[in-house]
Amino acid sequence: MTKRTQAVATVQVDNSDVIVTEWRFAPGSETGAHCHGYDYVVVPMTAGTLLLETPEGEKHATLVAGQAYFRKAGVEHNVVNASDHEVVFVETEIKAAQ
């Protein structure tokens, strides 16, 4: 298996209520496998396609710049930029909802 580069995560806010992280993915880069401990909202800053490697198999997700989406805690996946350009999104994890 080819080793992928890591996406760049920049935490912008981390307090008792939320964690806000900007994620920057070069083409082919990944987050690494992880499980979300909090409910979260993602706001794509760019359009693109993500490959989601999940326990149920591979899925593709199309991002639309400015079109937010919500997911519940417990999501397990590795997120890979399947686009030929940089993909950027801002993720807000909601600590207060727990």
> 2 lies in a domain?
no
pLDDT at residue 97 above 70? no
> Whats the size of the chain, residue-wise?
98
| 1 lies in some domain | no
Q: What is the rounded (10 degree) CA torsion for 86, 71, 43, 98? A: -120
Work out how many domains the chain is built from and give that number: 1
Q: What is the pLDDT of residue 2?
A: 63
pLDDT of residue 98 exceeding 70, the answer is no
Expressed as residue numbers, the domain containing 16 is 8-97
Identify each DSSP E strand in 1-98 by its residue range. 8-14, 18-25, 34-35, 39-44, 48-54, 57-63, 69-71, 76-81, 87-94
pLDDT for residue 3 is more than 90: no
37-96 tens-digit pLDDT: 999 999 999 999 999 999 999 999 999 999 999 999 999 999 999 999 999 999 999 997
Specify if 36 maps to a domain: yes
